[in-house]
Amino acid sequence: MARRTKGRTRGLGALLSTIAIAAAAVVISDRPSQADEGGVSFWLPGQFGSLAAVPAQPGWSFASVFYFTDVSASGAVAAARQATVGRFSPTVAVDLNATLRARIPADFLNATYVFATPVLGGQLAMGMTGVFGRPTVSVDGTLTTLVGGVPTTRLGSVDDGRMALGDLYPMMTLRWNHGVHNFMVYGTGDIPVGNYDPRNFANLGIGHGAADTGVGYTYFNPATGHEFSAVTGVTYNFKNTETDYQNGIDWHLDWGASQFLSKQMFIGMVGYFYQQLTPDRGQLPIFGDMKSRVIGVGPQIGWIFPVNDMQGYLNLKGYYEFAAENRPSGFNTWVTFAISPAEKPAPSPLARVAIHK
């Protein structure tokens, strides 16, 4: 019984590995903020979750992740986005009374290959993710600026939205298993080839490269079905040459905890912490060196099922955000469908005898 459960969990680990890579480095450029240029962080909190460090089955895996978020902010958080779009001089004075709202439906498509040959005693996987969607942003209120002694005022509502392609996001993971303990290291980054224009409120690319690396751990006991995972990492952002702006260094932690109710279904909780560690370079002095932060938590449910000779996985999870600083907050929802190789059954004793003959 425990052995069969472990086998199914290894297959689920493959699916969740694909899911993590599919969401890795997903960047939505319409999450305005005082910190990170235009409120854009390379790391999308919530990318990793339950069973993140569990080794997968060798071969190709594919995933589609539908992501929707609805966030809002007011005051200086909205002002920072307007100042970025307006390209005001570094000495500009800003007085703001406005609110901002951003909505993002997007779909992330990923392909990942898991190697059968061990590397450093672990399991190597490499993948690439692309994204498309329709981000929309609206700002309502008044932004008054003073440039060269001449006041300029924006009134009313400003709306922006478009269908767009995002950047490309490669990822590499290396995983090890030791009984109920599983360990992982990963590296990912941003290849800035997506739709980006600094004059737009809503983009699906970030306009600059980034590199992110980190470690992960998963505890899973097949006999009890108990599971807990945590993945943490840091992001280094390269300069945006179009705006001469460079985001600071970011730290993030994703976690998930689940309980298997059967061989096919589990429920649990997920959460994340996101904190900017160093200030940006190139922001207007009026905004200072404020750093962004947000915390999210919510429920999840997953279902495993056969797809011919492969294994399918459907997952729904959602996060409610709180304790946000210099960053919009709200909620986000993830709906994942993934296919990965199913675990091959061990040959029977008679088959082993026949093979040796």
Which residues form the domain of 152?
2-356
Hey, what are 82's tokens?
A: 């307007």
What's the pLDDT at 152? Answer: 67
Residue type, 231: V
**C-alpha–C-alpha distance, residues 181 and 178, integer Å:** 5
Q: Among 59-68, 91-100, 212-221, 301-310, where is mean pLDDT lowest? A: 91-100
Lowest mean pLDDT among 37-51, 94-108, 137-151: 137-151
Q: How many domains does the chain have?
A: 1
Q: Which two tokens stand for residue 156?
A: 């009313």
Predicted confidence band at 38 (pLDDT cuts at 50, 70, 90)?
A: low
Beta bridge partners of 212: 188, 235
DSSP-derived letter for residue 85 is H
Does 121 have pLDDT greater than 60? yes
Helix (H) or strand (E) holding 168: none
Q: Is 105 helix (H, G, I), strand (E, B) or coil?
A: strand
Q: What's the pLDDT score for residue 353?
A: 45
Specify which of 60-69, 82-91, 159-168, 303-312 reaches the highest per-range mean pLDDT.
Answer: 60-69
State the Cα–Cα distance between residues 64 and 82, nearest whole angstrom.
33
Rounded to whole angstroms, the Cα distance separating 112 from 57 reads: 11
- DSSP string over 208-257: S-EEEEEEEEEEEETTTTEEEEEEEEEEEE--BTTTTBB---EEEEEEEE
Res 107: pLDDT? 96
- Binned at pLDDT 50, 70 and 90, residue 122 comes out as very high
State the average pLDDT over residues 219-235: 95
Residue 208 CA to residue 196 CA, distance in Å, equals 10
Nearest to 284 by CA among 37, 72, 73, 32: 37
pTM (2 d.p.) = 0.81
**Strand pairing partners for 118?**
none
Q: What CATH number does the domain containing 234 carry?
A: 2.40.160.40
